[in-house]
Amino acid sequence: MKAADNQARDSACDDLARLMQRGSVWRARRQWHRDQPEGDTKRGISTGVEALDEVLGGGWPRGELLELLLDRAGCGEIRLLLPLMHRCERVVWFDPPWQPHAAALAAAGLDLSRLVIVRTRHPRQRLWAMEQALKSGCCDLVLGWFAAVQGQWLRRLQLAAASGGGHGALIRPADFAKQGSVAPWRLRLSAPDQSSGDETAPLSRRIKVHAFKRKGAMPARAIDITLADSRLSPPCPRPTSLPCAPSGERRSRPVLLVSERKGAGRS
């Protein structure tokens, strides 16, 4: 009798495995993550915050486009991504709306030789360059600061991220959260309520993260996160909401800059 039960159970498991392989059965992401070997980074890299890892199904998604929508520029988006940057061999930033401070980034433990800052003249150039960086497979993390982005470009960036297998993120104002997007992951970042989270930590080190779109899962509840202490101070955004780079702008040393202007190189 016991042998018959075991045979029936094995047969049922084989049938279920075939159904899952064919895609006929949906499998929860959290259970998928539990089945992976500890330390496996094929799926993603840990955010450094257990609660956020749970929300993202194991860590920052690899090969999938992520949107970070900010209620306010400089609310902690760079400090949130610092643990990921520390584990990447090549990090590329496209048109950050403020001038990166090389000394502060180095003090936060970031290897500046792995960081590339790209300045473009037009959003279309920025989109094209970001697409090339994502699908090249040579850039572990690609960040791009944008305002409005057409749906066809979002699809192209998602396909490029899937092709290259790295981490790609669009950083945009929260005003665009109500617009549709093909990005599988959309996170809204904002300042937390003063009465929530770790009240012992200053507000400058706390951030609220709401994953209102997750691939293969329902939206998650907003969580309050205490960011790791670092020497990165909140940047002062420029008056305009669109990323820009005046031609006469003074550049920080020793960050590597890539530009379309003739003769650009290390500044």
The CB-side HSE value for 257 (13 A sphere, CA atoms) comes to 24
- Over pLDDT 90: what percentage of the chain? 52
pTM over 0.75: no
- Both tokens of residue 9? 């159970």
Which of 50-54, 57-61, 73-77 is predicted with the least confidence, judged by mean pLDDT?
Answer: 73-77
Given a cut of 80, is residue 266 above it in pLDDT? no
What pLDDT score was predicted for residue 99? 87
Q: Are 117 and 145 in contact (CB under 8 A)?
A: no
pLDDT digits (tens, 9 = 90+) for 206-228: 899 999 999 989 999 999 998 87
Q: Which residue has the higher pLDDT, 116 or 18?
A: 116
Given a cut of 50, is residue 22 above it in pLDDT? no
Contact residues for 93 (Cβ-Cβ < 8 A; gap 6+) = 100, 115, 116, 117, 118, 143, 144, 145
Given a cut of 60, is residue 88 above it in pLDDT? yes
User: What's the chain's average pLDDT?
Assistant: 77
- Determine if the peptide bond prior to 254 is cis (ω within 30°): yes
DSSP codes, 104-142: HHHHTT--GGGEEEEE-SSHHHHHHHHHHHHHHS--SEE
- β pairing state of 206-213 and 185-190: antiparallel
Q: Are 171 and 77 in contact (CB under 8 A)?
A: yes
Q: Which residue has the higher pLDDT, 116 or 226?
A: 116
What pLDDT score was predicted for residue 89? 93
Given a cut of 50, is residue 185 above it in pLDDT? yes
Residues in the chain: 267
